[in-house]
Amino acid sequence: MCPYLWREWRKDGAVRAGKFQSELILWTFLTHLNVLVSILASITPSDKRSVGALILSILAVERALNMWTTGECKVPLGSLGHFSIDYWNDRTEYKNGEYKSNKKASRYFKAVDSLKDQDWDGIFKGARVYCLENMDDASQRDAIAIGGSNLDDNLELVSNHGSEAGDDEL
């Protein structure tokens, strides 16, 4: 299970709501769309589903969480430290004398592609909460615009690093 994929999560699994609607994913998704779209007002729930953008956002959040598993940011050296197709796309790896498929990106495709219109509405609505235009405090807008954050310094993040979650678990 990957709690960071959900808006609401309880350890016992009794509560899971808002698939792919965690604050981290929505911030990343909005940032991705903001780069792609010049006018935020044009992003509406009726737009074409942004499957690729959402999957890239999920992978970016996964990457960030994995770098902080020790409590300190540990960026891998060389190309492994880059968010690139070389490491974050599906690929075949040679391990222990045999080739194995690593479906790093496509493991999310089935779950994201099966989202219903109401799920996408929730994702877009949730992302719009983080639009710079909707923030009342000018200092928050400025801090975020230059890469800062207004998140709690004591925020505890949970990752299921290294797990091979099946689509039914997402």
Instruction: Give the model's pLDDT for residue 160.
Output: 37
Overall number of domains in the chain: 1
Return d(Cα 23, Cα 31) in angstroms, integer.
Answer: 12
pLDDT at 25: 94
Q: How many residues does the chain have?
A: 170
Distance of CA 157 to the CA centre of its chain: 13
Residues of the chain where predicted confidence (pLDDT) is lower than 70: 1, 37-48, 132-170
Domain annotation covers residue 15: yes
Residue-wise pLDDT tens digits, 24-49? 999 999 888 877 765 555 555 545 68
Q: Is residue 165 part of a domain?
A: no
Instruction: Please tell me the predicted confidence (pLDDT) of residue 107.
Output: 87
Given a contact cutoff of 8 angstroms between Cβ atoms, the answer to whether 24 and 151 are in contact is: no
Name the strand (E) or helix (H) holding 100: strand 98-102
Residue showing tokens 């990457």: 63
Tell whether 128 is covered by a domain.
Answer: yes
pLDDT at 99: 92
**C-alpha dihedral, 73 to 78 to 83 to 84, nearest 10°:** -170
Q: What is the dihedral of CA 169, 69, 158, 5, to 10 degrees?
A: -50
pLDDT value at residue 28: 92
149 is a domain residue: yes
- pTM for this entry: 0.66
Q: Which residues pair with 91 in a beta bridge?
A: 102
User: Does any domain span residue 27?
Assistant: yes
Q: Is residue 94 a part of any domain in this protein?
A: no
Range of 26's domain? 3-74+105-160
On whether residue 85 sits in a domain, the answer given is no
> Which of 123, 93, 156, 146 minimizes the C-alpha distance to 27?
123
For residue 100, being part of any structural domain is answered with no
